Chain A
């Protein structure tokens, strides 16, 4: 009997190529002296009208093949880039052009595009282009956007792209009646996904077949394919998009098309050469996307036990200069803010604001970290006000295990009801408390205080809608060799899809894991797909692959039953061999998958031993057509999975920090995670996802920010000054415990896991630092310098010397 692989820590098959340096990322494609390379002239100014662009200094430069500005673009390419996700509330949606037309709205906006023999020459050429600007006053930061003294887009009043409100219950009445009320003002600053591989696109036009081949470092190859075809005036069938290995995405690569994703294919067609664009690190900072920046105002009414009677939230979301990805991020903040809690009445209003900065698209967590921060800071404030333990106040508000499915009464980012499918928050809290040592902490605090050391503990809870629709599909093809070729359309950025999807196929089909080969993100293999975001790959493609493998299995059994003269129900498939249940393996009737594949496809021509067996003269019933009316040749299964709504994962993080009384340095002493993503396919990979999420969360809470000055210059557009954590900034060990409440929405009972690790970070660190310091933390991230300033302003007089 084959061991089930679901739930096993199976080592990753993709590692073999990565570890040998044989991964193939976008910049590794088409390595050849014949490949042309691009560079982009980007705006050095945050807000300006373009008066003139003089490219005359470039045209005659050796090695330069093309230089384009907006004037050189035609048809759909000259139109603004698409607003990918429209929404009725998004009344003032604006998107940029592939190359700026008349004005620039952020430092980094693409103005001119150069194609040259290599990147060095392309950069030389860019430096010779001269642009004359008329400066306009820049709008930087949420305060400036709200003040609206200056406008980013002259036709967008108040810099407001959208105002959206949702509510349940009568918040005003509930607030009036509440025994206690509090108000909080909170801020979160910008950060960014910052994958180690930036964006990259390669394109090749084949004039012999009139086809365009595009490789791009994306989270959606089907999306890129559709937009490239639309913008370049090609039939969809002429465009193939392949996602090569991707060096991290974390959200930023779901946005599409980037200007270069259109300009590179256009250049390949125009010049008849393979053309490559590889974004450099500075470009990634100023011309991809950021996230997280919000200002929040919360009013809350509660009873003596801390139960939420009325929750009234307003927030202002900085979406940068353009809004191609619509309102996804603020909608998620506004809905997922509720976490595991059930306020009696809830109202949320947000405004999504233009600023003259890099645009905002989802970054791992996608608005949830901000929502979690708002909610959990509120919980801490209530506990502080009531003098209650912070975990008690949370527990008083939990949705109980017997209340699922639980409808929060709101509309989620996918346009569906925000209805939680399953979870067990009280059990999770107990696990989290045990894991961090919540009840033992007061004694630890005293012990540390006796040594002159200062520590604090924090906890934060979240619920995450994962696996949103609309669908994913999968194709399973059993070849006559017995190898199982699987394709799903969404893309991979390091999540180990080749491994986990092969686990599912091996389990469902009964083949050997080693015989399964999974391809993702190749539109030639699976042209219908959505993409990898919203922690949806395992849920969506995992389910689709399971269903497709079931289809293939059905056909295997049907053909095998015929061949073995047995009933389908009496057959089983183990290690790629179909046999009668209970029959001895040696000598019993059995047929391997490869042979079943041979039988599935009647051929006219024999070209090898297997095809000789499969010719129409040796298989089938001579009295019937070689392929029955309701059948197809070949041993394949194809299916799509399209759930009614998202499935809701949940988790709780807790942390113990130490703050230095003198230098205000913040050290993590212990970090604990309890996580529920339903049934686990591969716990090793899920834990890896959590580790990575926690690391990004620590970065976002304590180190990383986008430091814009008032003129809209990003002051830290390098790894020198954008402080991504090294190992030395990580805790030595992250304690993880799992809870598995299966999702009833999909056949495998799974929920998404990709984003979870990052969601509660700002909240949990704010909680722990507040606890250590004795004053509320209301702005994240926080640096030692800022903590020191808070001490100065909030705890006068300055702390006296230590007693030693």
Chain B
């Protein structure tokens, strides 16, 4: 039996991509293997680790818990879409570099997307809110200490950027 294929338009980081995939193609696989956007990582494929988190219409969503066909029509942001238009690091990325918020870097894309949305919704998190913001993502390297610092630093950078503009 040949599997039925579906034509899907995936709008990723502002660019529309046409892909032809079977219905069972996970969004994470479509992004990585069909579009070559390998920044989105797959750590568990059952929705627990958060490495595959992308923004779906602005909301953090597990790409491994969605089929590409379901993402038709949605605006997707991946880690590749977080840098500034001039190519420099965005505030969350910059904060991670400054605070040593990453080691092996595998979980990092999921944290970056999650925090980007979190700080958009709450630009001045309390310390507790900063911890809560990253509470659904697993990291095996950092013990999270510097990730929480990075959330707070990113909030600071975001405020500075806003003041400057």
- Interface-side segment among B68-76, B95-103, B118-126, B155-163: B95-103
In contact, B140 and A21 (Cβ under 8 angstroms): no
CB pair A732–B131 under 8 Å, yes or no, is yes
Q: Is the CB of B143 within 8 A of A692?
A: yes
Q: Given A19-B108, A495-B103, A684-B100 in contact, is the A728-B135 Cβ separation under 8 Å?
A: yes
Interface pair B24/A120, CB less than 8 Å apart: yes
Among residues 484 to 530 in chain A, which have CB atoms less than 8 Å away from a CB atom of chain B? 493-496
Report how far A12 CA is from B146 CA in the complex, Å.
14
Q: Which of A25-33, A205-213, A317-325, A533-541 contacts B (4 or more CB under 8 A)?
A: A25-33
Query: What number of B residues sit within 8 Å (CB to CB) of A?
Result: 58
Tell me if A21 and B131 are in contact (CB < 8 A). Answer: no
> Among B79, B82, B103, B106, which residue has its beta carbon within 8 angstroms of that of A688?
B103
Which residues of A lie under 8 Å from residue B146 when comparing CB positions?
A: 688, 691
Q: A22 to chain B: closest CB distance in Å?
A: 7
Are A25 and B97 CB-contacts (below 8 A) given A18-B105, A19-B89, A494-B103? no
Contact: B46 with A720, CB < 8 Å? yes
In the complex, which residue of chain A has the Cβ closest to the Cβ of B96?
A19
**A481 CB–B CB distance under 8 Å:** no
Closest to B83 in A: A20
> With an 8 A cutoff between CB atoms, is B40 at the interface?
yes
Query: Are A281 and B97 in contact, CB atoms less than 8 angstroms apart?
Result: no
Shortest Cβ gap from B152 to chain A (Å): 12
Report if A727-B106 is in contact (Cβ < 8 Å); known contacts: A20-B80, A27-B42: no
Q: Is the CB of B32 within 8 A of A21?
A: no
Any chain B CB within 8 A of the CB of A62? yes
Q: Which residues of A contact B8 (CB under 8 A)?
A: none
Among B80, B96, B143, residue most surrounded by chain A Cβ atoms (within 10 Å): B143
Main secondary structure of the interface of B (DSSP, over half): loop
Query: Which residues of chain A are within 8 angstroms of B96 by Cβ–Cβ distance?
Result: 15, 19
Q: Which A residues are in CB contact (< 8 Å) with B148?
A: 727, 732
Task: Assess whether B2 is interfacial by the CB under 8 Å rule.
Answer: yes
CA distance A12 to B142 in the complex (A): 14
Q: How far is the CB of B137 from chain A (nearest CB, A)?
A: 7
- Indicate whether A694 reaches chain B with its CB closer than 8 angstroms: yes
For A, the interface residue count at a CB cutoff of 8 angstroms equals 57
A685 to B102, CA, bound (A): 10
Q: How far is the CA of A119 from the CA of B22 in the complex (A)?
A: 13
Complex contact A724–B43 (CB within 8 A): no
Contact B89 A247 (CB under 8 A): no
In the bound complex, do residue A688 and residue B104 qualify as a contact, i.e. CB atoms below 8 Å apart? no
Contact with A along B29-60 (1 / 0, CB 8 A): 10011001111111111101101000000000
Say if the beta carbon of B7 comes within 8 Å of chain A: no
Residue pair A719, B106 in contact (C-beta under 8 Å): no
Verify B105–A245 contact, CB threshold 8 A: yes
A92-136 contacts to B, CB under 8 A, are 118-120
Closest B residue by C-beta to A121? B3
Docked-complex contact A281 and B104, CB < 8 angstroms:
no
Which residues from chain A contact B49 at a C-beta distance below 8 Å? Answer: 196, 281, 719
Bound: A624/B136 CA distance, A: 69
Does A197 interact with chain B (Cβ within 8 Å)?
yes
Given contacts A18-B102, A248-B106, contact A692 B42 (CB under 8 A): no
Q: A21-B40, A494-B105 are in contact. Are A27 and B32 (CB under 8 A)?
A: yes
Could you mark each residue 196-220 of chain A with 1 if its beta carbon is under 8 Å from any beta carbon of chain B, else 0?
1100000000000000000000000
| A305 on interface, CB distance cutoff 8 Å | no
User: Is B48 a contact of A719 with CB atoms below 8 Å?
Assistant: yes
User: Please, which residues of chain A bring their CB within 8 A of the CB of B37?
Assistant: 21
- B44 and A31 within 8 A (CB): no
Q: What is the 8 Å Cβ interface bit string for chain A, positions 566-593, against chain B (1 contact, 0 not)?
A: 0000000000000000000000000000
Q: Is the CB of B140 within 8 A of A195?
A: yes
Q: How far is the CA of A18 from the CA of B83 in the complex (A)?
A: 12
Asked if A694 contacts B93 (CB within 8 A), the reply is no
CA distance A245 to B49 in the complex (A): 19
Q: Select the residue from A11, A248, A493 with max chain B CB neighbours within 10 A.
A: A248
Q: Which of A22, A24, A724 contacts B140 (CB 8 A)?
A: A724
Q: Are B80 and A248 in contact (CB under 8 A)?
A: no
- Judged by a CB distance under 8 angstroms, whether B134 is at the interface is yes
Do A718 and B131 touch across chains, with their CB atoms under 8 A apart? Answer: no
| Shortest distance between the CB of B118 and any CB in chain A (Å) | 13
Beta-carbon contact of B135 and A12 below 8 Å: no
Knowing A196-B107, A197-B106 are in contact, say whether A281-B45 is a contact too (CB < 8 A). yes
Interface members, chain A 222-252 (any B CB < 8 Å): 245-248, 250
CB distance from A289 to the nearest CB of B (A): 15
Instruction: Verify B33–A31 contact, CB threshold 8 A.
Output: yes
The reply to whether the CB of A156 lies closer than 8 angstroms to some CB of chain B is no
Does A696 touch B at the CB level, under 8 Å? yes
Chain B residues positioned under 8 Å from A688 (CB to CB): 100, 103, 141-142, 146
Is A466 close to B, CB under 8 A? no
B141 touches A494 (CB 8 A): yes
A86 contacts chain B at the CB level, 8 A cutoff: no
Q: A21-B38, A247-B106, A719-B46 are in contact. Are A691 and B93 (CB under 8 A)?
A: no
The reply on B63 being an interface residue by CB < 8 A is no
Contact with B along A674-700 (1 / 0, CB 8 A): 000000000011011001111110000
Residue ID in chain A nearest B37 by CB atoms: A21
Docked CA distance A726–B80 (Å)? 25
Is B106's CB under 8 angstroms from A196's CB? Answer: yes
CA distance A27 to B103 in the complex (A): 18
**With A and B bound together, what is the CA distance between A687 and B78 in angstroms?**
30
Which residues from 642 to 688 on chain A have a C-beta closer than 8 Å to any C-beta of chain B? Answer: 684-685, 687-688
CB neighbours (8 Å) of B2 from chain A are 62
Residue contact A15 to B97, C-beta cutoff 8 Å: yes
Q: Which residue of B lies closest to A120 (CB)?
A: B24
- State A727–B98 Cα separation when bound (angstroms): 20
Known: A19-B102, A196-B51, A730-B143. A280 touches B38 (CB 8 A): no
What's the nearest-Cβ distance from chain A to residue B85, in Å?
14
Q: Which residues of B contact A159 (CB under 8 A)?
A: none
Contact mask A345-361 → B, CB, 8 Å, 1/0?
00000000000000000
Q: A736 vs B102: C-alpha distance in the bound complex, in angstroms?
A: 19
A185–B41 alpha-carbon span in the complex (Å)? 43
Given contacts A11-B98, A718-B46, A720-B46, contact A246 B22 (CB under 8 A): no
Docked CA distance A22–B93 (Å) = 13
Beyond A196-B51, A727-B135, 17 additional pairs, beta carbon < 8 A: A15-B105, A20-B80, A20-B82, A20-B89, A21-B40, A22-B80, A62-B2, A248-B104, A248-B140, A280-B45, A494-B104, A691-B142, A691-B145, A691-B146, A719-B44, A726-B137, A727-B148
Listed by A's residue number, 30 A-B pairs whose Cβ atoms lie within 8 Å are A12-B97, A19-B79, A19-B96, A19-B102, A20-B39, A20-B93, A28-B32, A31-B36, A195-B106, A196-B43, A196-B106, A197-B106, A245-B104, A245-B105, A246-B104, A248-B141, A281-B44, A494-B105, A494-B106, A687-B100, A695-B143, A719-B43, A719-B48, A719-B138, A720-B48, A726-B135, A727-B135, A730-B143, A730-B144, A733-B145
The 8 closest A-B pairs by CB, nearest first: A21-B39, A494-B104, A247-B106, A18-B105, A695-B143, A691-B143, A494-B103, A719-B48
